[in-house]
Structure 1
Amino acid sequence: MPELSPLESALLRLIREDPFAGQQAMAERLGISRPAVAAHIMRLTERGHILGRGYVLPPEGRVLVIGGAVIDRKYLARTPLIAGTSNPVEGMRSYGGVARNVAENLALLGTTTGFVTAVGNDENGRSLLAHLSARGVDVAHAVALPDQRTAEYAAILEPTGELAYGIADMAIFDQLTPAMIEQAWPAIASASLVFADCNLPAETLATLIARRPHGRFRLAIDAVSSPKVKRLPRCLDGIDLLFLNLDEAAAYLGKVFSRDINGMHDAAKFLHQAGATAVILSCGTLGVVVCAQDGTTHIPVVRAEPIDMTGAGDAMIAGTLNFFSRNDTLTEAVRKGALIGSLTTETASSVHPDLSNHFVEANLYRLDATSGDHLV
């Protein structure tokens, strides 16, 4: 994030004091010319510190989420599946997608949240955006495309719950192009923190990373999957927070790591050396490793009585972003994020229906045994 000069900081203070002040009045108070004030205002607008005409200032702590939104369907077979014929099932529909889940979790935690995505101009797309809007997410920059289908994923499960078939229609994500970034740039540049998932095409991720220095935001990215993490550029400069698991790290780096804390530490260190300012790397019951400039810390998993693991990783990301944006240290933010992830496993929903700051505070006692260990 570019640092403000003393003059730019003074100009923003004047605008906060009186958003309707004229440029000549500001020039006289600052002891510079009116054209100089105009030039500074233009640069501050381009970098997201001012939202266009009227000197409207962006809200502090706003998070903008960019990425996939999906309709998830599960079909649980009542009897063992038989190929080539009709099978009785119990059908369930829910809303999913890494970015969508993160956005909903953030809003429930009280973070001012916007969402940039693409859906079809169909019933699924309309219901998905309406649900997010009702949760408090700003979907003004989500686009409904008339000739596209809202993304869907369907899981066909054996009576035991084991996945028999997984089918996905994600073609609409190809429409999340660099042009979309340009169109939404004022909202992106003015955010305090931007989160994107690797459902975005490689060229869109590259555009977002390249344009990051021209905004006021910190950039967080989640790998999503082992195939999709390869959409990230080889140089990770410009990524402030990189979320991924050990398998995704191995796929990106083209290396094999032991499935233990030492392997997690090594993978996170390689990614940090590749340019990511901080790496948050998970590996199931082994917990999370946080690697940043001040060293590497292991955070154990928070004990839970899991019902469904769906959405736990997205909840952990949202919790981390929520508390990090509120000036918690990264390690403390990840600990609270890990708690929210564990709480999410104790419900059948991908987003905990009771999630709120009060709910998190009521469960902070569960962190007593997970202070984390600093690794060399």
Structure 2
Amino acid sequence: MTEREIEILELIRNNPTISQEELAFELGISRSGVAAHIHNLMKKGYIQGKGYIVKVPEFISVIGGINIDIVGTPNEGLISNNSNPGKINYYVGGAGRNMALALSKLKINTNLMSVYGSDVNGERFVAESRKIGFNIECCERINGYSTSSFMYLEDQENHFRVGVDDMQILENITPEFINRYLQRINQSKYCVIDDNLPIETIQYIENNVNVPIIAKSVSVNKVKRLMCLLPKIELLVLSESELKELTQKDGGEIKPKAMNLISQGVGQVIVIKGNGNVLYFSKEDSYEIKGDVVPAYNRNGSTAVLTSAMIWAKLQNRYTRKEIVQLGYCGSVTSFLTNNSVFDGLNENLVLANYNQYFKN
């Protein structure tokens, strides 16, 4: 849609009985101009028939973090308590942003709801989003705050060693913030969240969001924030250590811990092991996908892309549960091709090509 068509559609959604004369007055254009835009909206399928019956396209709402990853990689072996010559790179990331961007690349209409700061990193996020055509209309700039950032060190083999995050700004994703977008969220096919959100915001989502929820954990320190939401989560994606923290069960096999979450109402659980294997659990079945693909760079962003690729596969309405997880995995391994959280070339054809290579041959 053009910007003018978006304006007209929003006015119609707010007042379905508005006349073309009133639209022309509101927009400061001619009635014939309005009529032409209405005709185009009908041709594109956004308006159906007379009376401005607005067709709401299927879309996903993602609520979560925008982050700037600051990555230090030494030229040689990492030496503790010492300066290490190497490279420092900046990447736009964040679990919420990564899931929303991956969904967009898979041609799923997506609204990212998040916050960024009034700093150079916030400007970097906005500039990159505009450059790639990424929708950030529901992202708000918060004055006086720095954009969320995560600084970490890799060793020479690109393995994560230690990190520090500064995510104070995410406390501004408050219940009041969510309320501003609640109507849009409840028109979504799914509401996707990460556990960067404050606990009171997750509780607000529990009480006010009435569409299926998909959740991705980002940290052992934050995963317990999801406890109140478990009965409403259709799909939960987390690491083995996050599973241990959430269930408060040390040692032993993964399956009993995952089934404990399912007994509390979670529909499906995906556990990512340290070796890259992907484990799936539901009431009906369970299985494991061997992580045989060796990362060319690192696994940064891969679980976010796995989550998004699974959502994309679910929306196709033609795949089995096992195929959906396999397609999720085929999306995730694209992140191994780059230090960017989401591979620039991610698309539906690439996911399907990986699927044919890894699971059909």
Which TM-score tier does this pair reach, normalised by the shorter chain? 0.7 to 0.9
Q: 1:253 pairs with 231, 247, 254, which one? A: 247
Contact 2:270–2:280 under 8 Å retained in 1: yes
Question: What fraction of aligned residue pairs are identical, expressed as a percent?
Answer: 25
In the alignment, which residue of structure 1 is the partner of 2:279? Answer: 289
1:363 to 338, 350, 354: 354
Question: Partners in 2 of 1:146 and 1:172 — Cα distance?
Answer: 10
- Could you report, residue by residue, the CA deviation over 1:240-272 in whole angstroms, capped at 9, with x for unpaired residues? 1111122111101111243xxxx2221221001
Paired residue for 2:116, among 102, 116, 119?
119
Indicate the residue corresponding to 1:273 in structure 2: 263
Number of residue pairs matched?
315
Go from structure 1 to structure 2 and tell me whether the alpha carbon gap of 1:282 and 1:91 turns closer, same or farther (over 3 Å shift): closer
| Aligned counterparts, 1:212-231, within 5 A | 212-213=209-210, 217-231=211-225
Q: 1:130 aligns with which of 116, 121, 127?
A: 127
Q: Give distance in 2, aligned partners of 1:291 and 1:319.
A: 17
Letter matched to residue 265 of structure 1: K
Q: Matched residue of 1:362: which SS?
A: helix
Which residue does the alignment assign to 2:226? Answer: 232
* Partner residue in 2 for 1:67: 64
1:299 partnered with 2:292: no
Change (3 A) 1:158 1:138: closer
Give how far 1:122 is off: 2.0
Preserved contact between residue 289 and residue 296 of structure 1 (Cα < 8 Å): no
CA distance in 2, matches of 1:56, 1:93: 42
Query: Structure 1 residues 332 and 118 mapped into 2: Cα distance closer, same or farther (>3 Å)?
Result: same
Task: Note the 1:1-376 alignment, pairs <5 A.
Answer: 56-60=54-58, 62-78=59-75, 81=79, 83=81, 87-159=84-156, 161=158, 165-213=162-210, 217-234=211-228, 236-258=230-252, 263-285=253-275, 287-293=277-283, 295-307=284-296, 308-327=298-317, 328-368=319-359
- Displacement of 1:108 after TM fit? 0.8
Q: Distance in 2 between matches of 1:74 and 1:287?
A: 25
**What is the TM-score when the length of structure 2 is the normalising length?**
0.79
Change over 3 Å in CA distance of 1:123–1:335 after alignment to 2: same
Equivalence for 1:36: none
- Amino acid paired to 2:123: R
CA drift at 1:98: 1.0
Q: Does the 8 Å contact 2:278/2:291 carry over to 1? A: no
**Contact 1:311/1:350 (<8 A) preserved:** yes
Describe the SS at the equivalent of 2:197: coil
Residue 27 of structure 2: aligned partner: none
**1:70-124 alpha-carbon deviations (Å, 9 max, x no partner):** 111112234655747x653312111111111111111111111110001102221
Q: Distance between the aligned counterparts of 1:162 and 1:268, measured in 2?
A: 27
Residue type of the alignment partner of 1:113: T
Structure 1 residue 325, shift from structure 2 partner: 2.2
CA RMSD of aligned residues (A): 2.8
Q: Residues 17-50 of structure 1: CA distance to partner in whole angstroms, max 9, x if unpaired?
A: xx6599xxxxxxxxxxxxxxxxxxxxxxxxxxx9
SS in structure 2 at match of 1:368: helix
- Could you state the TM-score of these two structures normalised by the residue count of structure 1? 0.76
Secondary structure at the aligned position of 2:107 is classed as coil
**Structure 1 residues 156, 181: closer, same or farther in 2, change over 3 A?**
same
SS at match of 2:183: helix
Q: Which string of whole-angstrom CA distances, capped at 9 and with x for unpartnered residues, describes residues 255-312 of structure 1?
A: 1243xxxx2221221001011122222224473333334x122131353131221111
| Residue ranges of structure 2 left out of the alignment (5+ in a row) | 1-11, 20-46
1:71/1:152 contact within 8 Å kept: yes
Equivalent position SS for 2:57? coil
